[in-house]
Structure 1
Amino acid sequence: MPDNISSSRTLPWFVRSGARTWRCLPAPDEVRAFHAALPGHSPTPLTELPSLAEELGVGRVFVKDESCRLGLPAFKALGASWAVHRTLAERAASGREPGPVTLVTATDGNHGRAVARMARLLGQHAHVFVPQGVHPQAVAAIVAEQAKVTEVTGPYDEAVRLAAEEAAGPGAVLVQDTAWPGYERIPGWIVEGYSTLCAEIDEQLAAQGIGEGPDLVSVPVGVGSLAQAVVTHYRSRPSGRAPALLSVEPQAAACVLESLTLGEPVSVTTGHTTMAGLNCGTPSSIAWPLLRDGLDAAVAVPDADSARAATHLAALGVSSGYCGAAALAGLRAVLTGAAVDERRAALGLDATSVVVLLSTEGTAANPHRPLMGSDAGHRQAHPGPSRP
């Protein structure tokens, strides 16, 4: 059970002790080398923002800027590329039918585009299912990758169901970035792919003279796959600091916060949020055990806070969509307001602390998504959309 759950009505907040001493196995070493060998790959920037450090009362603040990863406006290409590589290598080793494979997925935008990009580069086919309400620009970007797109007249869960049915046919495979019981291996490979992001942070901080790593990492969370990768990385390191890990969700879709509070994975009824990529009602089945044991804290923020954070980051030269800016919005919520000294102490932060914010997408990944009837009161039946 948690050590403290905030009683503040304005700050949905969870914190527990012991996470920084918990340990797990690391991601495979070969992931980083695989990404380094991809055409056009280079590490994304880790940008220091001294004005944020002064505002938040910490030593240094860095933003991991994922606005251009392998030519795409979000971090999703890391997971999709590694999972597709592993999938195709396994099929070749098993002697399955030769010829192109159709990679099938459901998406709200970024993951589907990343799968389609990998299919195009590797001479494969892609079939992407998109739910009702996805912006036409996001659909057009997937079509531009030469993928077949099926627009579903229903919510994300329906798109996932139809994608899974399509992938059951010959010559097709489902490459989905969230797990549920019975479908966990490929989502696990996707999570492994995200480990490259964390390895880059280590190297970039070391180049800044911070060889021990950060004191806190703030992570936007939907189903929890990216947070799973972050927990895996920082809770498996044999040396260096064990940072506090903070998850940030929309108040309209705080499934991880609710699950941590109750001590078991639960589904929540989600509402509309401009943080569309985080609009998720159920934690990923493979992410949950690591989030439960490895996260120090969780917070949920309103849309207005992420919008303000995105505007502030843009003014500082960092392109960040609403989901990416949630990392800053969540940290601001934790480090301001009533009982702030208790929260700072719980996270081990002081005036010398080094903080890393994961900005998971650029503004190009965040076209306006209008409120649809299915967005209000939507309940996820299984791990939800294409989420961090």
Structure 2
Amino acid sequence: MPPLTSPRPLPFVVRPAARTWRCEPAPADVRDFHSALPDYSPTPLTELPSLATELGVGRAFVKDESCRLGLPAFKALGASWAVHRALAERSGTGEEPAPTPAPAPVTLVTATDGNHGRAVARMAHLLGQRAHVFVPQGVHPRAVAAIVAEQAEVTEVPGPYDEAVRQAARAAAAPDAVLIQDTGWPGYERIPGWIVEGYSTLCTEIDEQLAAAGVVEGPGLVAVPVGVGSLAQAVVTHYRSRPSGRPPALLSVEPEAAACVLESLTLGKLVSVPTGDTIMAGLNCGTPSSVAWPHLHGGLDAAVAVTDADSARAAARLAALGVSSGPCGAAALAGSRAVLSDVGSAERRTALGLDAASVVVLLNTEGTAANPHSPTC
């Protein structure tokens, strides 16, 4: 069935067949790896009844990634697993259950809008490696300073995220360098795949936390902020790899200035879009990851794009409820508000299979990171 588009100007697409799509699950040993890390503990899943009322659903939860492994974003999950796998492979130790540094220092290279680069730099420092991080134009100076504080070399690129990725890939061609990038393209897919696997721990925690809260059948809707789509791929993998049970609707949320996944879903093929300025810097990506795309195309129920003003209002709302959220993390709430509460919401609710008793989970992917030089959140 072709995508159904919203009759109002809201940048939105819904895909009714996505809930029947299936894929293989993430490796079971990822959670064990993270559990063995010194700073690991599950991040909170906070129930916010006032948000449930606002969204017109039964219960609303926020998965709060504002402090994950000592950093203010979920990215450390993917970076830690991918760096571990890459260094273990390079050193010939295979798949050891604990982090194993390579016998000689290497340079871990990446491009970032902020949080991924800081996570790679943190892992490099912890494991006695070097880090070289490329940041595109428009990244906030505080984010750059936070990466520098992790003792990484930083190169600021006078261009968009995609150009920073290209420059990082060139730099990683050196024999003593390894590219740890969270977007993939033909010929570079294994490490981005490991990063996605690392994010599966977040989803496993949600299962356990919802069960503890008395949610037996799982969520009805999961809203996830999207840049190149790696976290969304992990979410799709988690919920679309189950052989039975009621699958939730999965909603991706992007800035209107960089809605590459929405545009790709609308056209039915992976495309690049020009990007503009946005306060959602970590989502300011013009091309979906080629690794993520088959999962996004197969398993995402809907995609929506939101404005900076939407995101800012959502961040303020979460702050008032005691949840620290940066503009990217607040995008999940902004998108859910637009889909479930704005004009035309009745049609969208029906398309997503939601009603007044539904359970909604919002992924708050980052905190405000008020002190980027702090070693902890």
| Counterpart residue identity of residue 17, structure 2 | G
Q: SS in structure 1 opposite 2:167?
A: helix
Deviation at 1:129, TM superposition (A): 1.7
3-state secondary structure, aligned to 1:363: coil
Between the aligned residues of both structures, percent identity stands at: 81
Maintained 8 Å contact 2:259/2:305: yes
Alpha-carbon contact 1:227-1:247 (below 8 Å) kept: yes
Partner of residue 139, structure 2: 134
**In 2: Cα distance, 1:129 partner to 1:264 partner:** 28
How well do the aligned residues superpose, as a CA RMSD in angstroms? 1.8
Normalising by structure 1, what TM-score? 0.91
- Is the Cα–Cα contact under 8 Å of residues 101 and 171 in structure 1 kept in the other structure? yes
2:6 is equivalent to residue 6 of structure 1: yes
TM-score, structure 2 as length reference: 0.93
CA displacement, residues 132-186 of structure 1 (integer Å, 9 cap, x when unaligned): 3322221221121122222233333332222222211122101011111111110
SS in 2 for 1:242: coil
Letter in 1 for 2:30: V
Looking at structure 2, the residues matched to 102 and 17 of structure 1 have their Cα atoms a distance apart, in angstroms, of 45
**1:176-215 equivalence runs, <5 A:** 176-215=181-220
Q: CA deviation at 1:126?
A: 1.1
Give the match for residue 263 of structure 1: 268
CA deviation map 1:233-264 (0-9, x unaligned): 00002343200001111111111111111111
Partner of 1:172: 177
Between the aligned partners of 1:128 and 1:248, the Cα distance in structure 2 is 26
Task: Output the CA distance in 2 between the equivalents of 1:285 and 1:72.
Answer: 27
2:357 aligned partner? 352
Mapping of 1:27-106 within 5 angstroms? 27-93=26-92, 98-106=103-111
287, 291, 295: which one pairs with 1:290? Answer: 295
**Following TM superposition, by how much is the alpha carbon of 1:366 offset from its aligned partner in structure 2, in angstroms?**
11
Q: Which residue in 2 is equivalent to 1:385?
A: none
Alignment-derived partner of residue 232 in structure 1: 237
The aligned amino acid for 1:23 is R
- For the structure 1 residues 311 and 115, does the alpha-carbon distance in structure 2 shift closer, same or farther, using more than 3 Å as the test? same
Q: C-alpha distance in 1, partners of 2:42/2:338?
A: 29
Partner of 1:249: 254
SS at match of 1:179: coil
Shift of the alpha carbon at 1:22?
1.2
SS at match of 2:186: coil
Partner Cα separation in structure 1 for residue 158 and residue 262 of structure 2: 30
- Amino acid corresponding to residue 88 of structure 2 in structure 1: A
Task: Give the conservation status (yes or no) of the 8 Å contact 2:181–2:191.
Answer: yes
Verify the 8 A CA contact 1:59 1:351 in the aligned structure 2: yes
Flag the 1:260–1:239 CA change in 2: closer, same or farther, 3 A: same
- What secondary structure, in the 3-state scheme, does the structure 2 residue paired with 1:270 have? coil
Shift of 1:94: 7.3
| Per-residue deviation, 1:125 | 1.3
Give 3-state SS (helix, strand or coil) of 2:223's partner.
Answer: strand
**Mapping of residues 12-27 of structure 1, within 5 Å:** 12-27=11-26
Separation (CA, whole Å) in 2 of partners of 1:341 and 1:135: 38
CA distances 1:24-78 after superposition (whole Å, capped 9, x unpaired): 0000000011001001110000000000111111100000000000010110000
Q: Distance in 2 between matches of 1:98 and 1:71?
A: 26
SS of 2:202's equivalent in the other structure is: helix
Change (3 A) 1:151 1:252: closer
Tell me how far apart the structure 1 counterparts of residues 271 and 7 of structure 2 sit (CA, whole Å): 21
What secondary structure is seen at the aligned counterpart in 2 of 1:61? strand
The superposition leaves residues 328-374 of structure 1 with CA deviations (integer Å, 9 ceiling, x where unpaired) of 1111111123322111111111111110000100111799xxxxxxx
Matched-pair contact (CA < 8 Å) for 1:321–1:365: no
What is the DSSP-based 3-state SS (H/G/I as helix, E as strand, rest coil) of the residue aligned with 1:327? helix
What residue ranges of structure 1 are gaps of 5+ in the alignment?
A: 368-388
1: CA distance, partners of 2:246 / 2:116: 32
Q: Which amino acid aligns with 1:38?
A: L
SS of aligned partner of 2:296: helix
Q: Decide which of 338, 360, 372 is 1:333's aligned counterpart.
A: 338
Aligned residue pair count: 366
Matching residue's letter, 1:2: P
Q: Distance in 2 between matches of 1:74 and 1:116?
A: 14
Alignment match, 2:156: 151
Structure 2 distance, partners of 1:253, 1:321, is 17
Letter in 2 for 1:154: G
Q: In the TM superposition, what is the alpha-carbon distance from 1:273 to its structure 2 partner?
A: 1.2
Provide structure 2 residue ranges, at least 5 long, that are not aligned to the other structure. Answer: 95-100, 373-377
Is the Cα contact below 8 Å between 1:321 and 1:366 reproduced in 2?
no
2:278 pairs, out of 270, 273, 282, with 273
Structure 1 residue identity aligned to 2:37: L
- 1: CA distance between counterparts of 2:163 and 2:371? 22
The yes-or-no answer on 1:301 pairing with 2:306 is yes
Hey, what's the Cα distance between the residues in 1 that align with 2:93 and 2:166?
27
1:97 offset after TM fit, Å? 8.1
Question: Structure 1 residues 134 and 12 mapped into 2: Cα distance closer, same or farther (>3 Å)?
Answer: closer
